[in-house]
Amino acid sequence: MDQERALPGLPGLLDLDAVPGAEDGEHFLGPPPPEPSSPVYGGHVAAQALAAAGRTVPDGLRAHSVHCSFVRPAVPNTPFDHRVERVRGSAAFATRRVYATQRGREVFALTASFHRGAPGLDHQDAMPQVPMPEELPTYEERLTTSFGEPFQSLGKPYELRFVGPLSFDAEKDPSLASPRTRIWVRAKDALPAGATADRAHLLHACLLTYLTDVTMLETVLVRNGISWLRATGSSLDHTVWIHRPFRADEWLLCAHETPAAAGGRGLVLGRVFTRDGTLVATLAQEGLIRVNDGSGSAG
């Protein structure tokens, strides 16, 4: 890893404190994000909740599906109280539900399934043909081009490289509107090796859950030629199915498409590939999108 990427950040957000006296270690406290943005980024609480669920699962079982429901906007500067419910446990599967609260109010719910993998059928779709991330400008460079003024580092714990237009570009030039986006993403931190392979898999699953909430709703805006200057959005639900091992601190291609938007909501489907073309995850997200001037467009 590059030394400049060895920065504190995402792994520390997953350092949950077990609440003393909780039955079977099913009650954890997670820190809020360091930045006081409101509402809190949904991927933060989702990643923490999956970490809490994974802390209660026996060795040998790995997360393969994660279903998130964002119940209320989370508030900044307030820890998350994660309570884990053991729904199912067997030699091959474990199911956990996690309820995250702040100040006694539920803000988030997660259902995660863990599976002990076994030999079986194996196939996947091919990765789209796109430039490698090293061939593309950084997100900050893209913003500089779009706005005509320099953007310094945004200080995020992840890196983005967009293959196609940003929503800001599609708003200025409607011919760039597209139902698809292709985005390379990786955690900026040099991630530590896990104590075990199972713990390492959980860490990267948590960070993928965090990272994939970043860019999906952008696809709805790109299709409609509307930028974040004229719209606001928030995740309503988010699902990640994990197929194969990966590292979240190595470049991953998120190939998104939006089949529908209606009723103030937009749906995005996605697939996640490693740079060698391995399909490692499939995504689905519905989000609430409000256009500031009350109008919208159909791409």
Q: Rounded CA gap, 3 and 174, in Å?
A: 41
Active-site choice (285, 293, 295, 297)? 285
Active-site choice (81, 169, 213, 249)? 213
Express the helix, strand and coil content of the chain in percent, nearest 5 each: 25, 35, 40
Measuring CA to CA, how many Å separate 240 from each of 68, 126, 183, 206, 212? Answer: 9, 19, 17, 10, 8
293 is catalytic: no
Contact criterion met (CB below 8 Å) for 31 and 76? no
Q: Rounded CA gap, 78 and 101, in Å?
A: 10
165-194 burial string, b = 16+ CB within 10 Å, else e? bbbbbbbeeeeebbeebbbbbbbbbebeee
How far from chain centre, in Å, is Cα 224? 22
What's the DSSP call for residue 189?
A: S
81 is catalytic: no
Amino acid letter, 145: T
Q: Where do we find the tokens 């209606």? A: 262
3-state secondary structure of 3: helix
Active-site choice (81, 102, 235, 249)? 235
What's the DSSP call for residue 72?
A: S
Q: Rounded CA gap, 241 and 114, in Å?
A: 11
3-state secondary structure of 239: strand
146 is catalytic: no
Query: Where would I find the beta strands (DSSP E) of 31-190?
Result: 62-70, 80-89, 93-102, 105-115, 158-162, 180-187
- Positions marked active-site: 213, 235, 285
